[in-house]
Amino acid sequence: MVESLGTAFTRMARERPDRPAVTDDPAARSAAELPRGTPSTTTWTLAELEAHANRWAHDLAARGVRPGDFVSIALPNVAEHYALTLAAWKLGAVPQPVSHRLSESELAAVLDVVRPPVVAGLAPGTDPGVAPAGTTVLELGHRPAGPDTPPPPAPPPPAWKAPTSGGSTGRPKVIVAGEPGTSDIVASRAAVYRIEPDGTFLCTAPLFHNAPYLFSLLGLMSGHHVVLMGRFDAARALALAQEHAATWIYAVPTMMGRMVRLEQRPELPALRTLFHIGAPCPPAVKRAVIDWLGPDRVLEGYAGTEAQARTSITGREWLEHPGSVGRVTGGEIEARTLDGERRCAVGEAGELWLRPEPGRTTYRYIGAEARTRPGGWESLGDMGSFDADGYLYLADRAADMIVVGGQNVYPAEIEAAILEHPAVVSAVVVPAPDEDLGSVPHAVVQTEGDVTDADLDAHVAARLSPAKRPRAWRRSAEALRDDAGKVRRSVYR
């Protein structure tokens, strides 16, 4: 019998009511983001989370949420986020996380695309006009007044999540999962990422990004105690991992780089898996993490929110294929020349095309059209190459590639080399026009300690060919990527 996710959680809560479900970490966030009266740390058991979710479900139903509707969730990383997600599932609705940090115009554009009956978690004082007609706005701190008993049974939601694209610019792109909200989804996904039952899951990134939302939900529905962070801080993350005996940690390369820069790093004996995804990882950072945790506890993956296909690689495999994101473990991936005319040879970088298993629908877009070619292939705009053993190496996004005097140069490769300098905290490389070569790379860096442009020039000269070396260096006092490791290069162009 197919069990909906909302029903599955009710069963879990009845079987193990006192098991911790979610701990949030408001101490890591600014007070302005917190609902009034929120304590410094909140831990909800399965029974408490179930009761909160039921209250929300009744509240949402009274406001017109029906099976198949979207429920937009604009909360920061607090336990209430999961209560709203569960509430949507209980009503047969689709949870739609959206960033609480968006400007009013950006938020209005997302809600105009989604048209939800309810959006919850907006900051007090937000212009109600950000929501389209017919959408109820519930501010941050709203307390649902419904009973704590489950609502009447509803069919499984037609999609179990619908995040916005982390890299969207202009009109928003919402990526609606192609799979319904049933418990077999969790069973099939969790094992792939080594999310074993009854662990402790440290979620280090914002829930409005797909990866932390996806993986933490897999953890929650597998019986994990999910420990949330507000804003990422490397020392705080490791302290939380120690305090709660984390068995599974989600990270992106930016976070990993900050962790390995700490002078003191605990051994984390309870940790089974540090999983990272979201961007190419600089080899120096990856090697430092493997040296710290050991190769068997490090797992990396590559996939899009669209989930047409995926790769994975263990730390031990990575030592044999340094720089790779692994072999294909779901669907199909091939690299083709930019004109699409032929499949790339071994070691030749091309545009990556992905295709799911036959008969499987993995997503649909709202507000965008997929880039496709015959045969069911789709491209997310990423570039990469395969070695002779079938291991994939990411180059960069096709849109970010810099053509220097006819030579293709990938910013990610340059950034990885720059990040090997001990004084560089983060780096972004963008093209700048050049009368002779057409375009050349320029670099924006965040540094700690004294480092001159000449020092940086010498550092990259030892690692990169002349076409790949930045022609100019700009400094930033602030982090160049967000807590999920994302960057909008257009800001720095």
- Residue ranges and CATH numbers for the domains of the chain are 5-261 (3.40.50.12780), 280-398 (2.30.38.10), 401-491 (3.30.300.30)
Rounded mean pLDDT of 289-314? Answer: 96
Taking only the tens place, the pLDDT of each residue in 223-234 is 999 999 988 899
Taking only the tens place, the pLDDT of each residue in 401-432 is 788 876 778 788 888 889 888 888 889 998 88
The vertex-160 CA angle with 157 and 166, nearest 5°, equals: 140
pLDDT at site 32: 45
pLDDT at site 26: 67
Rounded mean pLDDT of 257-278? Answer: 93
Q: In which element (H, E) is residue 6 found?
A: helix 5-15
pLDDT at site 287: 96
Is the per-residue pLDDT at 247 higher than 70? Answer: yes
Rounded mean pLDDT of 196-201? Answer: 94
Is the per-residue pLDDT at 467 higher than 90? Answer: no
**What angle do the packed helices 411-418 and 453-461 form, to 10 degrees?**
110
Contact 304, 279 (CB under 8 A): no
pLDDT at site 168: 38
Closest by alpha carbon to 81, among 66, 100, 62, 61? 100
pLDDT at site 28: 44
Q: What is the pTM of this model?
A: 0.86
Phi, psi of 471, deg, nearest 5: -85, -15
Taking only the tens place, the pLDDT of each residue in 108-160 is 989 999 999 999 999 888 888 899 999 999 998 899 988 999 999 999 999 99
pLDDT at site 39: 52
**Helix/strand/coil (H, E, C) string of 377-418?**
EEEEEEEEEECCCCCEEEEEEHHHCEEECCEEECHHHHHHHH
pLDDT at site 171: 65
The one-letter amino acid code at 50 reads E
pLDDT at site 33: 55
Instruction: Label residue 492 left, alpha or beta by phi (over 0 means left) and psi (-120 to 50 means alpha).
Output: alpha
Choose the weakest-confidence range: 263-272, 403-412, 474-483.
403-412
pLDDT at site 34: 55
pLDDT at site 31: 45
pLDDT, mean over the chain: 90
- How far apart are the C-alpha atoms of 366 and 398, rounded to whole Å? 23
Percent of the chain with pLDDT over 70: 95
Taking only the tens place, the pLDDT of each residue in 315-333 is 999 999 999 999 999 999 9
Distances (CA, A) of 12 to 49, 179, 208: 11, 22, 25
| Contacts of residue 101, Cβ cutoff 8 Å, sequence gap at least 6 | none
CA dihedral 221, 113, 80, 167 (to 10 degrees): 70
